[in-house]
Chains A and B, each alone.
Chain A
Amino acid sequence: GIQVEQSPPDLILQEGANSTLRCNFSDSVNNLQWFHQNPWGQLINLFYIPSGTKQNGRLSATTVATERYSLLYISSSQTTDSGVYFCAVVDDMRFGAGTRLTVKP
């Protein structure tokens, strides 16, 4: 099956900093999602982004399907951004291992 790799595994930021999270996948995909898992365990949809670029407030995502990667950008980070960020290849129902983000005040 398809392999999904996320980097970095852990990220610590000061409030206000920007960050880029990466998701690589081993084969072509038709459907990719980014999620934020909050400290209570709820998976929150961030982006459904099989290709192209989308923005929602301080967050944006870009998927380059031909090069088999997707990026999640977080600007002006806040403490409430803390948690684990997952990308998932929806076609294969396969998740990456996640990036654990900690934003310090």
Chain B
Amino acid sequence: GAGVSQSPRYKVAKRGQDVALRCDPISGHVSLFWYQQALGQGPEFLTYFQNEAQLDKSGLPSDRFFAERPEGSVSTLKIQRTQQEDSAVYLCASSFLTGDYEQYFGPGTRLTVT
């Protein structure tokens, strides 16, 4: 596709449920990023992939958060045993590895945990 796509766009989960959020990066983009954006704040870095390798996961808030990109393209962010503080917009971005590092963002997934 022409841009980064994410699905679902909205997700409501009951506390304790597991959720999986999908990101399709721009074709040919090697780098993929996940961010979490709480209401009224700037995006906060969660994790970064280069192809299938997860090079940085320092931003993941707890071991309930897990991300994968097994074939170096589509990525999934999984949150286990969701809690109310997980409610946020989850943003995915992709970029080329070399040259300029401009990041392109998807529309986000708004997660509400009730």
Q: A19 in the interface, Cβ–Cβ < 8 Å?
A: no
Rounded to whole angstroms, the CA-CA distance of A88 and B104 in the bound complex is 12
Q: SS class of chain A's interface: helix, strand, loop or mixed?
A: mixed
- A10-44 CB mask vs B (1 if < 8 Å, else 0) is 00000000000000000000010101000011110
Q: How far does the Cβ of A24 sit from chain B's closest Cβ, in whole Å?
A: 14
Contacts across chains A and B counted by CB atoms under 8 Å: 50
The interface size of chain B toward A, counting residues with CB under 8 Å, comes to 22
The answer to the question of B108 belonging to the interface, with a C-beta cut-off of 8 Å to chain A, is yes
* B contact set with A: CB distance below 8 Å: 33, 35, 41-45, 48, 56, 59, 89, 91, 93, 100-105, 107-108, 110
Closest 8 CB pairs of A and B: A95-B42, A93-B45, A43-B105, A48-B102, A31-B101, A95-B43, A90-B101, A97-B42
Binding site for B on A (CB under 8 A): 31, 33, 35, 40-43, 45, 48, 86, 88, 90-98
